[in-house]
Amino acid sequence: MTFRLRIAIFSLATACAALFGVAACGSHPVMPTTDAVKTPRSLPVLPLPALVERRDGAFTVAADTLILVPDGNADALGVGELLAGYVRQVRGLKLAVGTGQGSGATRSTIVLAIDPQAGGATDEGYQLDVSAQGVRVAARAPAGLYYGAVTLWQLLTPDSAQGVPVTVPAMHIVDGPRFAWRGVMLDVSRHYMPPEFVKQLIDWMALHKLNILHWHLTDDQGWRLEIRKYPRLTEIGAWRTPPEGGARTGGFYTQEQVRDIVRYASARYVTIVPEIDMPGHAQAAIAAYPWLGSHGDRPAVSVDWGVNPYLLNVDERTFGFVADVLAEVMELFPGRYIHVGGDEAIKDQWKASPRVQARMRQLGISTEDALQGYFMQRLETLLAAHGRKLVGWDEIVDAGLPADATVMSWRGAQGAIAAARAGHDVIMAPSNALYFDYLQGDGHDEPPGRPTLITLENVYDFQPLPAELDAAQARHVIGVQANVWTEHMITPQRVEHALFPRMAALAEVAWSPAAARDWQNFLSRLLPELGRYRALGIDYADSAFAMRIEASPGTMPGKATVTLSSQTGFGEIRYTLGGSEPAMDSPRYQAPLQLALPQQVTAAAFIDGRPITPARQLHIDAASLLLRNSDELQGCSAKLPLRLGGPLRDDGTQAVYRVDIMDPCWIYANAPLNGVSRIEVRLGRLPYNFQLGTDARNVVPRPPRTRHGELQIHRDSCDGPLLAQVPLQAHTAAQRPETLSAAIVPQAGIHSVCLFVGHGASGTLWVIDTVQLRSER
């Protein structure tokens, strides 16, 4: 019997040709989806292939199975070696790779073949056949053969049982990508990432069938690429001293390291698109060569996050510098696209510069926005002369699009819509859906980052084609990209946590047919993928499945109401009391629990008898019910909230503070003040290293009442009755957070409590770690 899944792929021939010269998107007719194929976890593959036909029989792959390249094609042999390595790393099976016709019926084989008739109309398409006699993966081009091998690798690793043969059901797969550009941007300017990690990321991208690494190499906080004609770019521009002092930090990539990384990526069918950000985000370059600037000073490499004011000037000498830099960039990166930034170029310095204004008059340009358009047109002409294509952030739409520019739309979809309607190719990378520096969970154990959530489901639900575009305009949407900005990611492990498992959702959005989307089915197929992550050593976030344990005062004194939940609601929840690990024979959570205090609750979600994530635990007593951490406090406003990392606590964990950097003020909502006689606030301070541009005028001032400032605690509102005031000293929380204790007059009832620090010290950001209400009882 044959079961069939056949789903349409949206054909984007124009978009695909832009990258590969031919239509890179296969097209298949729509057929009904059968229940047999949609059985949860029936196909442990991500992203979901375009067409799957189940057939009778199966094939077992064991240690003696041969990966065979009959004609000895060098590219196919390279794919075979990669496949063997992936299987060995996750499954522990050491498969040999050979050429010729193998040993016939005496040895089972996996055949890899370059076949001009296989894989449809795209170089990235492939055909995979499993029968009782063996496995055959075929594609018309090496890229497609690689992606077919990745699908086979997933079929061979439904679990990570080491050295154990695996039986794969017979099937026929025909597959190809929906979009030609399937990208991830890695920002290495804010925090340098070592070459070894960049290579790891390339490996992981390739295993998700993602094919573009957008490498953000320059910004205000660091220039990371060696340019031999301008050595000060890395001698000075690659390093900065932290605002709190200490040793300088940074790093850069030599040209030999870049060539090695580019070769490594090419072998895995990943193209690297470098970004040299211009004319804004250029402070590191101007720190190295002040004559590039518009302000006439010599700034340091920035230690501030945000929008810095430094712009390149528009002198011919500066355009000569740009031409020299891009010449070396193009020598290192052979891909067609070069990203030149163009974002967040605030024009204050251009407006204030007599030299820039004179240059505008000389060019007959009346506005600074038009001057940026001129700047971008010069860059496009330069790149086009070398057969390259300009990519820029969507601000280049506002400045006047160069004739053949590609737009990367990050401020929502409007830039993409305008560009596509004007006949320009676009890449969808909106901040509200695909910025992976936004956190994916709201647990207090999440790392620093932007607290606006972009969950796994948010990524999976993203629709790349704006509804405002007609079919012809939609063909200009050549792909999607997730962006990883690293202001708050100081280590590769933090980048991994931000990327995974959201990269899996991105991959399915970018590769699979739109009609194939099924959230619950995706979650089922994600479980074996998480096993592969563990085998590969990927430090992924478990936010989508982790237990959230919440406690509130119970209906009776001495009791608490405890609720258990997870972000996705996937699996069944089991819990224990007393500290032991939950198992399948532990009580199943079905409704809120009424528990006597004190209590220790441990919980996890289970699928097929196994926990999806490590269990979470919460100790609950009378004091903990009156404790709030900064994530549990509300902000007094929502201007620009961040979760910032602080020093290490005594237990070795890092303090993380949620704070609105434009209004550092907190609300303890619904505080039960009956009997409360004291409020303890664990207070910290961080350097205020943020550039807010024109938004600086919206910072809420909180002037001090005492010499060094004071912690103020108000009831009902921030202008309400003053419950307590604790004067600060010059050394308060200078090295690490301190607990300030304030006695209050006993209050009655439930109230909101507002807390903030009145101070006049510039360069200091006061933050709250916890607020504890203490009762007389």
The active-site residue, picked from 129, 219, 226, 542, is 219
Strand partners, 564: 549
Distance set, CA 554 to CA 219, 559, 560 (Å): 52, 5, 4
- Taking CA atoms, 363 is separated from 349, 353, 368, 398, in Å, by 18, 15, 12, 19
Q: Which residue reads 């950001």 in tokens?
A: 765
SS3 for 207-262, per residue?
A: CCCCCEEEEECEECCEECECCCCCCHHHHCCCEECCCCCCCCEECCECHHHHHHHH
For residue 296 the two structure tokens come to: 């006439």
Among this protein's residues, is 295 annotated catalytic? no
Burial class (CB in 10 A: 0-12, 13-18, 19+), 117: exposed
Count other Cβ atoms within 10 Å, centred on residue 440: 27
Helix, strand, or coil (residue 684): strand
Matching residue, tokens 């970004």: 275
Q: How far is CA 340 from the centre of its chain?
A: 21
- Which listed residue (344, 369, 632, 680) is catalytic? 344
Nearest-angstrom CA–CA distance, 263 and 260 = 5
DSSP state of 413: S
Pick the catalytic residue: 191, 208, 214, 281?
A: 281
Q: How far apart are CA 723 and CA 744, in angstroms?
A: 6
Separation of first and last alpha carbons in the chain: 73
Closest CA to 226 of 336, 341, 332, 339: 332
Told to judge if 344 belongs to the known catalytic residues of this protein, a careful annotator would answer yes
Question: How many helices (H) and strands (E) are present in the chain, helices listed first?
Answer: 19, 40
How far apart CA 602 and CA 564 sit, in angstroms, is 10
Contact 574, 607 (CB under 8 A): no
Give one DSSP letter per residue of 274-310, joined into a string: EEEEESSS-HHHHHH-GGGBSSSS-PPPP--EE----
Contact 51, 512 (CB under 8 A): no
Residue 59, sorted as left (phi over 0), alpha (psi -120 to 50) or beta, turns out to be beta
Per-residue DSSP letters for 724-741?
Answer: EEEE--TTTTSSS-EEEE
For the chain, the C-alpha Rg in angstroms (whole number) is 29
Whether 281 is a known active-site residue: answer yes
Backbone angles phi, psi at 299, to 5 degrees: -75, 160
Q: How far apart are CA 760 and CA 738, in angstroms?
A: 20
Residue pair 603/616 in contact by the 8 Å Cβ criterion: yes
Residue with tokens 């199975």: 65
Strand partners, 159: none
Question: How many Å apart are CA 619 and CA 288, to the nearest integer?
Answer: 53
d(CA 704, CA 702): 7
Positions marked active-site: 219, 281, 344
